[in-house]
Amino acid sequence: MEQQENAEILKQRIREAGEKVKQLMQPALQAISESVEELVLTGSRDEVLIEKTLNALQDLHLSGVGEREYLRLLIYYKSWNIDRARPYIDQYHQSNFLFAEEVPA
């Protein structure tokens, strides 16, 4: 019984830590989202900005914010070239988060 209680306490602490990470990363996520949106909307081919944005997306992913958000931004970023985006779209659909309306068809 005590072991089950300890497991529940641990699960709760993990959930709380995950929420704190999300809150702390929200400003970075917002900035990256805006950068991705600007690149996509303007059709910019500024290689330096593109490289910085991709690096920021990868850093965000490595920070543990979550695969779903990383893939969503990466798909959106690459949506100007659907062939390049297709592997990410497929990976997104195979994840546990099936929100097809957020992803290009």
Residue 85, pLDDT > 70, answer no
Record the tokens describing residue 101, joined without a space: 């309306």
Q: Which residue has the tokens 């996509």?
A: 40
* Separation of alpha carbons 103 and 105, rounded Å: 6
Number of domains in the chain: 1
Q: Which two tokens stand for residue 49?
A: 């900005």
DSSP 61: H
pLDDT digits (tens, 9 = 90+) for 22-55: 676 677 777 777 777 777 677 766 777 777 777 7
**Residue 61: domain span:** 2-102
- pLDDT value at 62 more than 80: no
